[in-house]
């Protein structure tokens, strides 16, 4: 029988938010430090990218497994395990003396994050009932998640410039300690396997291998290109493995991802939308950061500080979205938010080689970030609407996978688009032109996100039917009859 964590909802929310903050922070904090890491540990030029890629590979590959595991064995238990692994690997990365040690530590961080992220989101959805309370809680969680990514750029720049690259890893240790203290203060969820319930090992192998191979093929395009046999081989292998995963899930009574879950308009529509929004947001971060450093000539710390208005806009958008969503449903924010982000990115696409921060970055940063905040705050509530408590981790794993894959695929594709426009030129005019094209395509992604919100999502949260688990074992878990 599952027991909702009803005793201390505020502590549950704080624990989940801090856990998500450190995972989001780590996605961004390392990027600014890469040149210093290369010099400090003697990375070969082609190997340096693995400091970023291995984290994306293990994080994205194991999210579905992490989500389902927390349903079966306890959300708090898995969150403690994931945070502990993440913290220990952060410490190991900060003390690394050789390139392979840092890469191994980053792989471990990804595994820890893949366990912690879906467990944190599932704790919120099983603690706060559907309606305004859950919307407000997920609004806080989304704002903290978005702020973690934006502040990661600032923290990475400041730490690299004034404390050394090792602190971009070591900074995670005290944050994880705070998260663990908060998690340990929450009531335990009494997870217990029902008779016949088990972890879908075969599905886990297919899903982890298929998603991992997809991420591997996509992130390596910066080195080998989209037309190489390595890329096409990886993507083809991913398709085969994911097809095998889909077949296996339709045949088992204890699926890692129940196919019926994706028949919910809320779940399917929200995951499609977050894939597109993450692709647009991640690539905007990437291109704007490069523009400030390589075209405007700003240093690492100044570039990080340049993202503070973006962070503020995300928080403002999230606060507004939380209130509107509680009263009128997610579509009231998702559509205007996506269109506002589109306008901001279209404005960004007007950057010039002779621009400046005040004229080319500040204004579009505020518009884009408020729009992104309006989108990101309600989307988690939409993705978990109607989901049974016993499948909260499953839905959370799918949602986090969609966001992670959207960011990886979007960044790889649009980086290629920008590089093709730039060609072999290295001047500020050519670089600015390439980044502008990438930002323009990011705007198109948010247009598509608005179309998904209009066409796929019901108008109000109350319109969502409950998503049934569909197996006797799951009904037993929830204490209901089939």
Residue 129: pLDDT band with limits 50, 70, 90? confident
> In the chain, what percentage of residues exceed pLDDT 90?
41
| Max avg pLDDT among 36-40, 274-278, 474-478 | 274-278
**Residue 378 pLDDT > 60:** yes
**Residue 278 pLDDT > 60:** yes
- For position 197, what pLDDT does the model report? 67
**Residue 463 pLDDT > 70:** no
Burial of residue 181 (CB within 10 Å: 0-12, 13-18, 19+) is exposed
Report the alpha-carbon distance of residue 295 to residue 359 in Å, rounded.
14
Q: Give the DSSP letter of residue 295.
A: I
**Residue 440 pLDDT > 70:** yes
**Residue 344 pLDDT > 80:** yes
Question: Average pLDDT of 295-319?
Answer: 85
Cβ-based neighbour number of residue 444 at 10 Å: 14
Q: Give the DSSP letter of residue 360.
A: I
**Residue 471 pLDDT > 50:** no
pLDDT tens digit string along 319-337?
898 888 887 878 889 999 9
Question: Average pLDDT of 345-372?
Answer: 94
- For position 246, what pLDDT does the model report? 92
Please report which residue ranges of 128-264 form alpha helices under DSSP H.
132-162, 167-170, 172-184, 201-219, 221-224, 229-251
- For position 469, what pLDDT does the model report? 46
Report the alpha-carbon distance of residue 408 to residue 410 in Å, rounded.
6
Residue 3: pLDDT band with limits 50, 70, 90? very low
Structure tokens that stand for 189 in this block: 């969820």
- For position 461, what pLDDT does the model report? 54
| Choice among 20-24, 210-214, 268-272 with the minimum mean pLDDT | 20-24
**Residue 146 pLDDT > 80:** no
Who has greater pLDDT, 136 or 234? 234
CATH number of 9-478: 1.20.1250.20
- For position 479, what pLDDT does the model report? 33
Report the alpha-carbon distance of residue 283 to residue 290 in Å, rounded.
11
User: Are 127 and 9 in contact, with CB atoms under 8 Å apart?
Assistant: yes
Render 180-205 in DSSP notation, one character per residue: HHHHHTSPPP---PPTT----HHHHH
- For position 7, what pLDDT does the model report? 53
Residues written for the chain: 482
**Residue 464 pLDDT > 50:** no
- For position 142, what pLDDT does the model report? 80
160: Cα within 13 Å, side-chain hemisphere: 25
- For position 152, what pLDDT does the model report? 82
| Choice among 281-290, 344-353, 393-402 with the minimum mean pLDDT | 281-290
Give the list of residues 6+ apart from residue 315 with CB closer than 8 angstroms, or none. Answer: 143, 146, 147, 373
Residue 191: pLDDT band with limits 50, 70, 90? low
């Amino acid at each position: 029988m599952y027991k909702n964590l009803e005793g201390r909802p505020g502590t549950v929310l704080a624990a989940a938010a801090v856990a998500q903050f450190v995972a989001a922070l780590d996605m961004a904090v390392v990027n600014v430090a890469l040149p210093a890491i290369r010099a400090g540990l003697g990375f070969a030029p082609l190997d340096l990218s693995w400091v970023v890629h291995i984290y994306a590979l293990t994080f994205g590959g194991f999210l579905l497994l992490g989500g389902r595991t927390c349903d079966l064995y306890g959300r708090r238990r898995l969150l403690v395990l994931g945070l502990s692994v993440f913290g220990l690997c952060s410490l190991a990365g900060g003390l690394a003396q050789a390139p392979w040690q840092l890469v191994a530590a980053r792989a471990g961080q990804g595994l820890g994050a893949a366990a912690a992220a879906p467990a944190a989101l599932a704790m919120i959805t099983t603690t706060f009932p559907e309606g305004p309370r859950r919307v407000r809680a997920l609004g806080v969680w989304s704002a903290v998640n978005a702020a973690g990514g934006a502040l990661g750029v600032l923290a990475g720049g400041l730490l690299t410039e004034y404390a050394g690259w090792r602190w971009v890893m070591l900074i995670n240790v005290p944050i994880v300690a705070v998260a663990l203290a908060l998690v340990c203060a929450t009531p335990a969820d009494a997870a217990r396997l029902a008779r016949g319930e088990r972890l879908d090992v075969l599905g886990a192998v297919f899903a982890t291998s298929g998603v991992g191979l997809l991420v591997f093929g996509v992130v390596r395009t910066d080195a080998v290109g989209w037309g190489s046999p390595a890329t096409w081989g990886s993507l083809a292998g991913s398709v085969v493995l994911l097809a095998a995963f889909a077949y296996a899930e339709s045949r088992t009574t204890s699926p890692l991802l129940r196919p019926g879950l994706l028949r919910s308009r809320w779940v399917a529509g929200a995951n499609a939308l977050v894939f597109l929004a993450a692709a647009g947001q991640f690539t905007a971060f990437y291109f704007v950061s490069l523009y400030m450093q390589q075209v405007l000539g700003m240093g690492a710390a100044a570039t990080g500080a340049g993202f503070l208005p973006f962070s503020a806009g995300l928080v403002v958008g999230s606060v507004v979205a939380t209130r509107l969503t509680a009263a009128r449903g997610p579509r009231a924010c998702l559509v205007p938010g996506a269109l506002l982000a589109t306008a901001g990115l279209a404005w960004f696409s007007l950057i010039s080689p002779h621009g400046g921060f005040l004229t080319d970055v500040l204004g579009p940063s505020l518009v884009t970030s408020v729009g992104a905040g309006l989108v990101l705050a309600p989307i988690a509530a939409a993705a978990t609407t109607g989901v049974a408590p016993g499948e909260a981790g499953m839905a959370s794993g799918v949602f986090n996978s969609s966001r992670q894959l959207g960011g990886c695929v979007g960044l790889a594709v649009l980086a290629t688009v920008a590089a093709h426009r730039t060609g072999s030129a290295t001047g500020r005019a050519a670089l600015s032109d390439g980044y502008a094209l990438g930002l323009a395509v990011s705007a198109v992604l948010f247009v598509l996100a608005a179309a998904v919100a209009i066409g796929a999502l019901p108008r109000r949260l109350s319109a969502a039917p409950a998503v049934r688990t569909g197996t006797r074992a799951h009904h037993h878990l929830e204490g209901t009859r089939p």
